[in-house]
Amino acid sequence: MITRSTFARSVVTSIFSTAIDYATLLGLYALGVDYRIATFIGTVIGFLTNFTINRYWAFEASADALHWQFVRSLPIQTGSTVLQVLGMWLFVGAFGIAVEISKLLVAALVYLSWNYPMNRHFVFGRKLAPATVVAPEASRAP
């Protein structure tokens, strides 16, 4: 179930990890790295930050297996990275919007349309049913 608390914590987490992503992008871009490559690297670093905070705080899903959550998050992150790099290419390359503004617009669009729904329902939304213990049958009389 989506709650206001989960959504609000996810937004805070996203803002923080996007700031890390954004700083990485701008730092690399200032060093002369192409904005598309810098976007790619920034999204990977932002993803690692976001995954960790989402798991332990936003979705409080640390009881579930870390490796399975990470495996489930990889296609989500791949989609997010592709959407962000394409969005940056479109906003900067086609529309001529500055890298700094484009990143903020693209990150918000991708978060609302892809990252939050997929993290909420696919990565951290799975709750494993508690294992049922089957009592051994009483010894049967012949």
CB of 28 within 8 A of CB of 41? Answer: yes
Residue 132 lies in a domain: no
Residue 137 lies in a domain: no
Residue 55 lies in a domain: yes
Residue 134 lies in a domain: no
- The per-residue pLDDT string of the chain (142 residues; one tens digit each, 9 = 90 and over) reads 456 688 888 889 989 999 999 999 999 999 999 999 999 999 999 999 989 998 888 888 888 888 888 998 899 899 999 999 999 999 999 999 999 999 999 999 998 899 888 877 887 775 545 444 444 555 555 5
Residue 135 lies in a domain: no
Residue 64 lies in a domain: yes
Domain that holds residue 118: 4-123
Residue 51 lies in a domain: yes
Domain count of the chain? 1
What's this model's pTM, rounded to 2 decimal places?
Answer: 0.76
Residue 8 lies in a domain: yes
Amino acid in position 113: S
H-helix segments, 1-142? 4-30, 35-53, 66-88, 99-110, 116-118
Rounded to whole angstroms, the Cα distance separating 57 from 15 reads 14
CB of 47 within 8 A of CB of 17? Answer: yes
